[in-house]
Structure 1
Amino acid sequence: MNELLSGTKPLRGRAAIDLRLHPFDLATTARHWGIEDPAAALRVHAILGGAPGYRNLSNVSPPQTSEEVDAWVTATVLDPRQALFSGSEAEYLLREDPKFTGSALHYAIINAVANGATSPAKIGGLLEQPRSSLARPIDALVAAGYLRYETDPLWERRPVITVADPIVRFHNLITVPQRDLVETGQSAEAWQRSRPTFVARILGPHFESCGRAWLRGQADPALRGNAGLVTGTVVNDRKGQAKHEIDVIALDKRSGRATISLIGEAKATVTQRSMGDLDRLDRLKEVLTEHGHDTASTLLALFAMEGFQPDLVGTARRRGDVLLVDLPALLDLGDPVVVPR
């Protein structure tokens, strides 16, 4: 559609608006699918993302509990007879896009990113290609919306590349490795074998992204302070000689120094968050201060799929600088468990 309005095309210069239609967020997807259980909604969103059209491609009732997700998966995305199934979703999409017709390299790059390669150097290592030869195809995939390319705000030379569409990630990590089982009618076995991969490499990272999306668009703007950016980052602990990932950080960076409004962790585990998680955030705040960043008014946030232990809730309420967000709050089904004073 963009090409109809550019170059020598008759409609060049006739565009009145450039409107980007983004996928639904977690809360909107749950309402669109009619899923009231937060755990089930999170899993469906992690598998399919927020494209509303997928709802019409499913002739199976949406799961209403996390236990029903297993049967729903095997009857939809892992059933070769269903429209939601694809042996290679990214390859199909690239064939449909005239800019990438016949490009095996583009498909290989998407596959590498889905399997954990988050930088040009790592992608080149998996594909046995020099990093310099991948710059243009990666840029093309980012421009077309297949990949996201972000720069770590605290370490501007550290790129973070991810797959933009969750269903492409699911097909590369789950469907393709289990293709033989799926295509021979053993979808339940394929899903059972894939559960650890789903939890660690799909559900976990997706829950983190949902936490960041909530803070950007649904949370009280006061929680972000003057932060212009909400993302994730990595920080080096010079004393402990360790590197720590920060799942959620809200900051405003000027002249190399950042003012940190919030740092947080988002964990999609079956255990409740504890005081140990809050202690870790306290340490991360100290590390950021040691790096010269302003943490004087930094809030500490914990996002939990299964809630929080009572002693953590009590401590958070007494301290006044801790935000506790559970899964219902991410779906606009309630307020955060604890909101900073």
Structure 2
Amino acid sequence: MLSRPPAMFDRAHEWAALSRFILDEQAGATLGVVSGRRRQGKTFLLDAACRAAGGFFFGATEATDADSLHRLGEALTEYTRPATPIRLTSWYEAVDALLALGRERPVPVVLDEFPYLAKANPSLPSIIQAAYGPLRTERVESRTRLLLCGSAMSFMGGLLAGNAPLRGRAGLEMVVRTLDHRLAAEFWGLSDPRLALMVNAVVGGTPAYRRELARNDSPADAGDFDAWVTRTVLNPESPLFREARYLLAEEPDLRDTALYHSVLAAVAEGNATRGGIASFLGRKAADVAHPLDVLEDAGLMARDADAFRDNRSSYRIAEPLISFYGAVMRPVWSQLERPGSATRVWQQAKRRFESNVIGPRFEQVCREWALYHDDAELLGGLPARVGTGVVNDAAAKAAHEVDVAVVGVSDGAQKPPLLSVGEAKWNEVMGVPHLTRLRRIRDLIVAGGRYDTAATRLACYSGAGFTPELRSAADRGEVVLVDLATLYGLR
């Protein structure tokens, strides 16, 4: 294992994977691809790995092909200290020079922001493919561990897909993800789970938002939350203020940013279906298919299949800061740009924050807990997937929304087991009426015959607590109660 930097928070899994890839003693150069949305710490992670292993790190910029080759030659000259400066005239020469670095020992070589290089020279992936030919002498005699890194998720996702030139060439494919709600709370130094989820609903789990953009400004307690919002994300002098807009501008495939901002705003306003989004924009449903696909490929939008209805899905924004921007900031952007307006705007926007931002975020955290963190198996076993859905009630002429539907592994059975159906309420004390509704939903699902419901458990998720009557029902085994302390692993 490479020596881990003391300043690195978490990322133990990623560091271990990089260590195994870099320190592999096998003969022959190898290739790895590292991706992830901006500001997740990819550059810090790879730079630290290069420093620990004595490797070569090159950070690309938006530049012409000739300029990039010139800068790469300068960086190689500084790294290798040859008798004469290295002058690179083509990427064929450049890749061979990078492979030559690993002739004596395994050496990590990082090309950070690789999409910039490939944009200036679209043939670069094919050049690397040719350099990594299985019988090519330069590759066979090298132990260079070449790592291509980038933040343009749509581009990086296509590097190894389908008929792409590098398909089958990579020995490592790693995505550096955002911190989940538990790690984010620890990273922000928040021990109060309610405050932690409120902060998570604004900035999510992106590490750079605390260290660089908020300059380590974390709310002292729940009473400081409003002031923290106004002095950071709603403050026009803070880098966080425009971050949500920049996230779209930095994606190369999002050319019509006004359209994509409008699509995200539609979802932030509570329109989760393709038809609802199209209606919000005044367009046909077919017209929003492409923008939704592009946003999904970029990692900014997620599509969740309906657990109870075939060919139905709903959309949600994957980045909390964009949800916050769309629901709270975008409608009053001109007001916020004027210094001193943040406090007044925030007082008016808190209702939208509760309904359009933190409520949906709480539901998503509940689903993530059910999928990844239910170590005590309160919901009955290992889930295969967790999602949402709508159950039709023909007798009552109603449709019931299920916030957390947990489907288990079928293990060859004709019907997959439905482990749990649950309802999530952020700011509402849940009681027996919620349990009664869940019982009705379970009866409807049983009648539908899609799932094995023999062991389906009912679950109530609340950020405000439960009535004594509901707690008594939980003691009798009629319902599972999940509060904020459970979501954050505090009990």
TM-score over 0.5 (shorter chain): yes
Aligned to 2:15: none
Counting only pairs closer than 5 Å after superposition, residues 74-223 of structure 1 correspond to structure 2 as: 74-86=230-242, 89-90=244-245, 92-184=246-338, 185-220=340-375, 222=377, 223=379
Per-residue deviation, residues 254-311 of structure 1 (Å, max 9, x unmatched)? 7995531101111101x42212221221111111112224322111111111222222
Q: 1:203 is aligned with what amino acid?
A: I
| Contact residue 300 and residue 322 of structure 1 kept, 8 A | yes
Q: Helix, strand or coil: the match of 1:106?
A: helix
- Distance in 1 between residues matched to 2:172 and 2:310, nearest whole Å: 32
Aligned to 2:403: 247
Does residue 268 of the first structure (1) align with residue 268 of the second (2)?
no
- Distance in 2 between residues matched to 1:51 and 1:230, nearest whole Å: 23
Shift of 1:128: 2.4
Q: Helix, strand or coil: the match of 1:208?
A: helix
How many residue pairs get matched?
A: 330
- Distance in 2 between residues matched to 1:79 and 1:118, nearest whole Å: 29
Per-residue deviation, residues 105-127 of structure 1 (Å, max 9, x unmatched)? 23322222222222222222222
CA gap of 1:328–1:45, structure 2 versus 1, over 3 A, is: same
Q: 1:68 is aligned with what amino acid?
A: D
CA gap of 1:125–1:272, structure 2 versus 1, over 3 A, is: closer
CA gap of 1:169–1:256, structure 2 versus 1, over 3 A, is: farther
Q: TM-score, normalised by structure 2?
A: 0.63
Per-residue deviation, residues 213-269 of structure 1 (Å, max 9, x unmatched)? 111111126324364111111101122111011110112597995531101111101
Aligned to 2:170: 15
Aligned to 1:282: 439
Q: Helix, strand or coil: the match of 1:104?
A: helix
In terms of mean alpha carbon deviation, does 36-45 or 125-134 score higher? Answer: 125-134
- Distance in 2 between residues matched to 1:131 and 1:280, nearest whole Å: 32
Q: 1:228 is aligned with what amino acid?
A: A
CA gap of 1:322–1:75, structure 2 versus 1, over 3 A, is: same
Q: Helix, strand or coil: the match of 2:172?
A: coil
In terms of mean alpha carbon deviation, does 251-260 or 135-144 score higher? Answer: 251-260
Q: 1:62 is aligned with what amino acid?
A: S
- Distance in 2 between residues matched to 1:317 and 1:80, nearest whole Å: 50
Aligned to 2:471: 313
- Distance in 2 between residues matched to 1:272 and 1:119, nearest whole Å: 28
- Distance in 1 between residues matched to 2:414 and 2:347, nearest whole Å: 47
Q: 1:192 is aligned with what amino acid?
A: Q
Q: Helix, strand or coil: the match of 1:280?
A: helix
In terms of mean alpha carbon deviation, does 65-74 or 107-116 score higher? Answer: 107-116
- Distance in 1 between residues matched to 2:406 and 2:258, nearest whole Å: 38
Q: Helix, strand or coil: the match of 2:417?
A: strand
Q: Helix, strand or coil: the match of 1:23?
A: coil
Per-residue deviation, residues 63-88 of structure 1 (Å, max 9, x unmatched)? 243221101000100110111112x7
Give 5+ residue unaligned stretches, structure 2: 1-112, 130-165
- Distance in 1 between residues matched to 2:268 and 2:380, nearest whole Å: 30
Shift of 1:2: 7.0
CA gap of 1:15–1:122, structure 2 versus 1, over 3 A, is: same
Q: 1:170 is aligned with what amino acid?
A: F
| Contact residue 304 and residue 388 of structure 2 kept, 8 A | no
- Distance in 2 between residues matched to 1:84 and 1:48, nearest whole Å: 9
CA gap of 1:317–1:58, structure 2 versus 1, over 3 A, is: same
Q: Helix, strand or coil: the match of 1:239?
A: coil
| Contact residue 194 and residue 484 of structure 2 kept, 8 A | yes
In terms of mean alpha carbon deviation, does 61-70 or 189-198 score higher? Answer: 61-70
RMSD: 2.3
In terms of mean alpha carbon deviation, does 114-123 or 168-177 score higher? Answer: 114-123
Shift of 1:103: 4.2
- Distance in 2 between residues matched to 1:289 and 1:225, nearest whole Å: 19
CA gap of 1:76–1:294, structure 2 versus 1, over 3 A, is: same
Q: 1:49 is aligned with what amino acid?
A: G
CA gap of 1:239–1:63, structure 2 versus 1, over 3 A, is: same
Shift of 1:145: 0.8
| Rg larger for | 2
Does residue 333 of the first structure (1) align with residue 490 of the second (2)?
yes
Q: 2:471 is aligned with what amino acid?
A: V
Aligned to 1:34: 189
Q: TM-score, normalised by structure 1?
A: 0.89
Shift of 1:51: 0.8
| Contact residue 147 and residue 161 of structure 1 kept, 8 A | yes
| Contact residue 38 and residue 331 of structure 1 kept, 8 A | yes
